[in-house]
Structure 1
């Protein structure tokens, strides 16, 4: 880290203090990681106090013994009155209101955790879960685990003992580093990664249990709240250290603290678009990951000024100190930070030989993560132009200042005037770095070779999946979720204190808005309704301040001064019952989406590896007759008896390792020696046309230190982020992978199917199609999948066995079904997640509510035939790149349910079709009919009835079917699904019946 920036040097010198504060943030709620906590909130009177868990340990947990070194070393940096009397106060008083360091933790805890708990306990008891049904939920309402009936490791006695021991170890190592004044950033980073990194015990156990047990806030884990609170606490302390006039003794610290978001972005799409081969992209990914890793080290460890709050393939967002509410102009102590951080990020990128500059930006002060999406979009806009600012590319090899422009990076010269296809030294180094990591087993069992992914027909598929997550991260779609349903709150609270609840449950939304509107005439902190709806209301002194914290901080809403009283009342009534996009929940949204894709990747590996030929996932070593002259770790493309194969020469093996699908050469019953004696013509991938023959003299299994490469998964993850998942799989496995993704989406996102769509693209291609064409096709497909909102009409609603079945007419006039669960696991009705946006602007049912902008939301169980609901549809598109020209395909995508129907139609054809020949004849005849009966404008010239009757007769003639099967296939042919099924399975997949 450059130390020429004095504010950065201040934080650098106080790194142990800041990391100690972050550790306190991780552990300040650790008492919740016990079954006793869940049981007490489930109704068991066990006397457990999670805030004083340390006193119940034998001997008591020594907070002061482990942390008092911080006070000894840094007591002079912070006024003595700002330190709590004991470090146990951080666990015991984190929800109260104090000055000093404790107040800063309370500010972080309050904005992350308190937002979830703004409901007074006296009026929210009906939301409690019981010990029989203490469920951890996904952020979209899907039950994940009954924690007491099926406890995770942490809720067992040995789990708690292990956790306490791990906390002690983490704090002891922290003490050793701090008291020894260790300067090596790598050691501090290693300590932090061991404590809370991916796979750490603390992270794993905190993810498995709850921070809040009440419905519907049982969707935020202990990890979400603890990690984000620790991030904000660390940033708040850093800001206080930078601010020489910070009011350490102010008891209003909790309410006045704000933060900024630090966004760092890189034009990742540019690197992917120019990749000549898959290895060019996957190798530069490593450099990009290293860039973000070094930026994270600078922010999280070296400066210890913030922590990562969001990350995808192109953008990282960190917490950062911000001005207090009483700092009405940009704070002087923040001056210069953005420019200095920009210079640091550029230096990192330059050292990694990246060809484009990064973008760094600090947001305006905020108390939420709602601005995160806006910050991300602006960062992507800035980096969309490869060089959005002055940038000097690093020329690392002086001898290569000649030759052709590198075909990969397109900015350096390759040093070889005779070879246009040769990459420059930097791009070659990236490719080999990727191969080194593969050889050393750092990439697991995934392959890095196209030829190994390709199926027996030499075909692959790039699958691209995305969840429309952006509007969840910025809080817009959280508008449809309820923290409480107003009629339910009234039903369970008919009396407030000793007075009848004045809100009418029959017209609950209008009644609440009118009540709030009347109270805006004067602010009364003892108001009966408001203090029983919002815990913090009684601590405020005026309406504008309360409005700012409840509305402006937690929604993209107008300011108090821009509204009249009717609009203010509408916003307050909405926010008081809305499920809020708190920092912990926003963090959970993107982490859950990423987890969904990670789970899919794990299953895709198993699907792709299944084969009736065991050679499918194995590698062998082919020893040549002559080991001289071969380049180490180089891919050679070869041919044997007309079949293309790929081999990698590894000098230490004294031979070639196979890098292709062995089922092309070996039958299941073949022995490896069947390859002995074959002669292969080989070409270096970087020197095509310069061939050489090789005869295999010996075939070996892989041995140490490369035994781990003996088997592999024929899968190549291309990108995995919260917003997009791309993966290469064998084409023969692609359909099953998509089937699984659709099935899981329907199950896990059933409650929000209308506003969290899954978009699926399948780009199938022969292995010789250039990778650049595949990427361009994928981008075009993804662009067509990004559909706008539609209105679907409710045709029928039926409720039974805990679900509502909706028969809907889509915008294309066809009908579809949706099955939506309407009960919670304990049998209670779900009144939190199941609200859809309707066309109707009137409030017709007790549970209806209206957004201040006018949109009405209705519970799915209250829908009636004729209602129009707003849907962001899930879509799917398949594309076969038989040639590179197909990447410009402009055909429209289909609804996701059409994919499932297409798969079922093919399954029906497999059962009823008399022969493959009959199917081929039917297909040819269908194509002829569609061509002959098409009008000049591309529409069907025949009437619907005539066209349907003609298709029915054609199907009956060629397939000899009748009854229900005939009607099903006829309808599929009318909709085009039958033709799609035959094209996909017969032409693309080369399947037979």
Structure 2
């Protein structure tokens, strides 16, 4: 793809591209038999004769003899037929051909916690009446047999799936037989199946790969895609090793590296002068990562994407075998590092990026990808310095001023505000994409986002997905609970393990066994982990169960008690398997994608339909000449800001502002003075005709998405719609993450600003909010005040460190009525295991089921918070920023509704608060009372003023007094009256 020196290893992979992509396709399809309704019915106890391995009987017979057209080295071992993969991949013994590589990949993608003995794990099964798919964070999504997705609706859907598979494989064969070097054709073939909107991905994300609880959180796609990625990379490693590759013990010996590529998006964001600079560059950076994907996934076919956010993409990559007999050794990995750096640098050069990309192959080879977050953090730390290595970039201009956007190129003119050709091209690329829109799409113009008061809001939401990727938050999730396992396997009670003290008893039992010679026939451990009986020594068992799935110290660095603690912990918890890590970040990204859809609907909701429409203004013959094609012009019609977009092809102007303000006004014959968006030249427009735009640009969503990744979502919305958008986000977060609320906080920032505010100032304010929320969101101890469980919900009242109480509702029941003993645990101050469901991590942290919490228990919470700022001027971004808990935000909205119900005037409200605020300022820090305390004088004054001036009585009065005590009354009035410009009686939507 570049002019770099030929690299024989890369050329070897390119020659066998068809083989590697065919093996990846087998990886995607190897569990297709589970995508049938009968698979669920069989595991739900309704039928007994379904054979998931025979699904391929419905395919064309020619595929089963496909190896003839696959070019492959003689030393690369394949099974004799396609069905060999499907019949043998999940056998206990490791095959000494490519099946063994698939076995290794499948085992790693699935997770060792699924390797449960059938006899001892029957109690975890779901029956046909309750066959639920759950999210990675424990929320039940769908009862697949009662409310089936399209794939599970019957034989017609199944035949349709097989028909798609047939065509997919036939296209693969055609590409392979032609020995096609057409990367575009290979890319399209792959994306149609596995891309974001791929048919196979859509089908497989709707149903289960595992029906037992709680492993019903990973779909067929999660496991199949990750298994295929690892399989593909392992096969590439075997191809590269050639005759030196050892085909024995592949399940035990195969390991993987990670390839990490990144680009410093934060630098480009901070340099953006206008919104088009950032959105255009964001589009450019996304295209760069897509080209990297094309290089890695198709051109070299050496790996597949495992993680992607706004800056970093991580791919699977061949590793070195555990016994060093084949795979990618360190010297070869170093050579690949240099080659891929050159290739990635070349791709960055084609986009004329002024900062160098990051490219790194991990030095670690592992049987899992638990170290992925370390690689991501290493990339982010490096990218924090824009020029982290020598970098030559396009700089063709030799005269003019320095570009105000990139700050490094000359713009070729004397105009200091004119961008250089490269930055201008990025702006225009975003414009071209907008002009070519074929359906309703978000706008790209801030004036169209602005509400009727000319104000917009940048909303930013963050989820700490990184804490789930490194496995630290997974400690709280159970694959089995010792007490339930003991109760449902009474045999273990004969060995001193009681249901009431099962965790401690099991810990002592394993500690005693670890000190002795390994016994593969141990009756207790064989009931806990199916693979135990196939091991021969403690050290190798420990390596597979513990070292492969955690950041635990090695066997030799621990004593027997510590070894036992790690073993029990890993055997009972859900593990950070590659398939689950993929599901973690995909779930978070889908959460934000769903919010984007809902925010679009909220922003477009208006009784005046002109809010989402554009007008065409036809100039008359007396209008000024000299209009520039595709240029933006700004002016005012009476007191209304106007932004227009000139189209030379139709010689008219398209409105790109909120035209709802023109409702009821006749623009025909009106004259508007307009300024060129670049050189401020004043021109006169006289309107001869006004029409509705009827083309693809006729309607739009008044939002501008700025960024959407697993960890962060930024979007511009009308300020009038901001409160409803935030409320919807909080509601969705409560629904999706209620079981992990204490360790998956939602951090929300709101920057409200007039539409003419400089974009640089707005985005800097957003970064300040995010940094404040990040720095101030340290875990804190919240004290349990009360706990009540009723109707499958546990209601917790917790006292925060600031003294305020918070009510939390945590689901504790599974859809079939059983208690959820897998998800709703919290870390407590207590260091003792006191209840049957309690457990302790090897680091000493005790987790307790929310149903077992008692008054006075200290719970470690990573709190969800919100920060807001209203930018009356660009200097506002330097002012102190207020932050609140999310519940405080909801309470402020409730307070406003109470005030609206009093029927008072805005003057009365302002007058009452002026009295209270004056007293607050005078009394601050004195002994007679402060709003931060329960000062009797202060509260007495509040009660008196609110009662006399506003007429509040009873419960409403007490609620308003409590709001003043919590220092929420003032911020509530400021937000609703000063920022949103609402009058009493108007509720923010």
The answer to whether TM tops 0.5 is yes
The CA deviation string for residues 288-332 of structure 1, in whole angstroms up to 9 with x for no partner, is 011101100000000000000000010000000000110199444
The CA deviation string for residues 928-954 of structure 1, in whole angstroms up to 9 with x for no partner, is 122222238996699711111111111
Select the residue among 855, 867, 872 that pairs with 2:862: 872
Counterpart Cα distance in 2 of 1:590 and 1:789: 22
SS of the equivalent of 2:505 reads helix
Counterpart Cα distance in 2 of 1:84 and 1:599: 43
CA contact under 8 A between 1:482 and 1:577: conserved in structure 2? yes
- Between 133-142 and 934-943, report the one with greater CA deviation: 934-943
SS of the equivalent of 2:81 reads coil
Measured after TM superposition, the shift of residue 247 of structure 1 is 4.0
- TM-score after normalising by structure 2: 0.96
Corresponding residue for residue 449 of structure 1: 445
Corresponding residue for residue 772 of structure 1: 760
Counterpart Cα distance in 2 of 1:71 and 1:220: 35
SS of the equivalent of 2:313 reads strand
C-alpha distance 113-71 of structure 1, shift in aligned 2 (>3 A):
farther
The CA deviation string for residues 50-103 of structure 1, in whole angstroms up to 9 with x for no partner, is 112223x4xxx246x226444444354434xx2212211212222122111000
- TM-score after normalising by structure 1: 0.96
Give the aligned length: 970
CA contact under 8 A between 1:462 and 1:762: conserved in structure 2? yes
Confirm whether residue 565 of structure 1 aligns to residue 557 of structure 2: no
Measured after TM superposition, the shift of residue 286 of structure 1 is 1.2
Corresponding residue for residue 392 of structure 1: 392
Counterpart Cα distance in 2 of 1:941 and 1:828: 44
CA contact under 8 A between 1:323 and 1:365: conserved in structure 2? yes
Corresponding residue for residue 316 of structure 1: 313
Counterpart Cα distance in 1 of 2:624 and 2:535: 81
Measured after TM superposition, the shift of residue 772 of structure 1 is 0.6
Counterpart Cα distance in 2 of 1:698 and 1:645: 16
Corresponding residue for residue 283 of structure 1: 280
Corresponding residue for residue 763 of structure 1: 751
Confirm whether residue 17 of structure 1 aligns to residue 19 of structure 2: yes
CA-atom RMSD, angstroms? 1.7
SS of the equivalent of 2:242 reads coil
Confirm whether residue 349 of structure 1 aligns to residue 348 of structure 2: yes
Counterpart Cα distance in 2 of 1:67 and 1:24: 12
Corresponding residue for residue 891 of structure 1: 881
Confirm whether residue 586 of structure 1 aligns to residue 581 of structure 2: yes
Counterpart Cα distance in 2 of 1:991 and 1:839: 45
C-alpha distance 67-382 of structure 1, shift in aligned 2 (>3 A):
farther
Corresponding residue for residue 599 of structure 1: 594
Confirm whether residue 259 of structure 1 aligns to residue 256 of structure 2: yes
Corresponding residue for residue 685 of structure 1: 677
Measured after TM superposition, the shift of residue 889 of structure 1 is 2.9
Counterpart Cα distance in 2 of 1:205 and 1:627: 57
CA contact under 8 A between 1:627 and 1:654: conserved in structure 2? no
CA contact under 8 A between 2:747 and 2:864: conserved in structure 1? yes
Corresponding residue for residue 956 of structure 1: 947
Corresponding residue for residue 148 of structure 1: 145
Corresponding residue for residue 484 of structure 1: 480
Counterpart Cα distance in 1 of 2:467 and 2:41: 36
CA contact under 8 A between 1:20 and 1:70: conserved in structure 2? no
Corresponding residue for residue 172 of structure 2: 174
Counterpart Cα distance in 2 of 1:8 and 1:640: 62
CA contact under 8 A between 1:261 and 1:319: conserved in structure 2? yes
Measured after TM superposition, the shift of residue 436 of structure 1 is 0.8
Q: How does 1:785-934 map to 2 (within 5 A)?
A: 785-786=773-774, 787-934=777-924
CA contact under 8 A between 2:633 and 2:645: conserved in structure 1? yes
Structure 2: gaps (5+ residues): 985-989
SS of the equivalent of 1:401 reads coil
Select the residue among 449, 455, 459 that pairs with 1:459: 455
The CA deviation string for residues 671-710 of structure 1, in whole angstroms up to 9 with x for no partner, is xxx211111111121112x11111111222324xxx1110
The CA deviation string for residues 147-197 of structure 1, in whole angstroms up to 9 with x for no partner, is 000010000222211110001111000000000111111111011011211
Corresponding residue for residue 377 of structure 2: 377
Counterpart Cα distance in 2 of 1:892 and 1:474: 31
Corresponding residue for residue 198 of structure 1: 196
Measured after TM superposition, the shift of residue 529 of structure 1 is 1.5
Q: How does 1:318-337 map to 2 (within 5 A)?
A: 318-327=315-324, 330-337=329-336
Counterpart Cα distance in 2 of 1:409 and 1:332: 38
CA contact under 8 A between 1:128 and 1:215: conserved in structure 2? yes
Counterpart Cα distance in 2 of 1:393 and 1:72: 44
Measured after TM superposition, the shift of residue 441 of structure 1 is 0.2
Measured after TM superposition, the shift of residue 246 of structure 1 is 4.1
Counterpart Cα distance in 1 of 2:120 and 2:324: 36
Confirm whether residue 360 of structure 1 aligns to residue 359 of structure 2: yes
Q: How does 1:328-727 map to 2 (within 5 A)?
A: 330-363=329-362, 364-395=364-395, 398=396, 400-417=397-414, 419-441=415-437, 444-495=440-491, 500=494, 502-520=496-514, 521-625=516-620, 626=623, 628-667=625-664, 674-688=666-680, 690-703=681-694, 707-727=695-715
Counterpart Cα distance in 2 of 1:75 and 1:240: 11
The CA deviation string for residues 402-449 of structure 1, in whole angstroms up to 9 with x for no partner, is 1111111111111111x1111111111111111111011068511000
Counterpart Cα distance in 1 of 2:478 and 2:213: 10
CA contact under 8 A between 1:544 and 1:560: conserved in structure 2? yes
Measured after TM superposition, the shift of residue 118 of structure 1 is 1.2
C-alpha distance 75-451 of structure 1, shift in aligned 2 (>3 A):
closer
Counterpart Cα distance in 2 of 1:5 and 1:178: 23
The CA deviation string for residues 724-779 of structure 1, in whole angstroms up to 9 with x for no partner, is 00000000000000001111111111111111101111110011111111111101
Counterpart Cα distance in 2 of 1:170 and 1:941: 66
Counterpart Cα distance in 2 of 1:589 and 1:984: 35
SS of the equivalent of 1:823 reads coil
Select the residue among 301, 304, 313 that pairs with 1:304: 301
CA contact under 8 A between 1:848 and 1:856: conserved in structure 2? yes
Counterpart Cα distance in 2 of 1:968 and 1:356: 54
The CA deviation string for residues 600-649 of structure 1, in whole angstroms up to 9 with x for no partner, is 11000010001121111110111123484211111111222233211111
C-alpha distance 73-134 of structure 1, shift in aligned 2 (>3 A):
closer
Measured after TM superposition, the shift of residue 575 of structure 1 is 0.4
SS of the equivalent of 2:119 reads helix
CA contact under 8 A between 1:494 and 1:501: conserved in structure 2? no
SS of the equivalent of 2:549 reads coil
The CA deviation string for residues 463-496 of structure 1, in whole angstroms up to 9 with x for no partner, is 0001121111111000001000001001000026
Select the residue among 227, 230, 239 that pairs with 1:241: 239
CA contact under 8 A between 2:264 and 2:311: conserved in structure 1? yes
Counterpart Cα distance in 1 of 2:258 and 2:714: 28
SS of the equivalent of 1:411 reads coil
Select the residue among 116, 122, 126 that pairs with 2:123: 126
CA contact under 8 A between 2:64 and 2:81: conserved in structure 1? no
Deviating 4+ runs (over 6 angstroms): 936-939
CA contact under 8 A between 1:17 and 1:70: conserved in structure 2? no
SS of the equivalent of 1:161 reads helix
Corresponding residue for residue 46 of structure 2: 44
SS of the equivalent of 1:725 reads strand
C-alpha distance 183-84 of structure 1, shift in aligned 2 (>3 A):
same
SS of the equivalent of 1:516 reads helix
Structure 1: gaps (5+ residues): none
Counterpart Cα distance in 1 of 2:211 and 2:641: 59
Measured after TM superposition, the shift of residue 334 of structure 1 is 2.8
Counterpart Cα distance in 1 of 2:595 and 2:931: 40
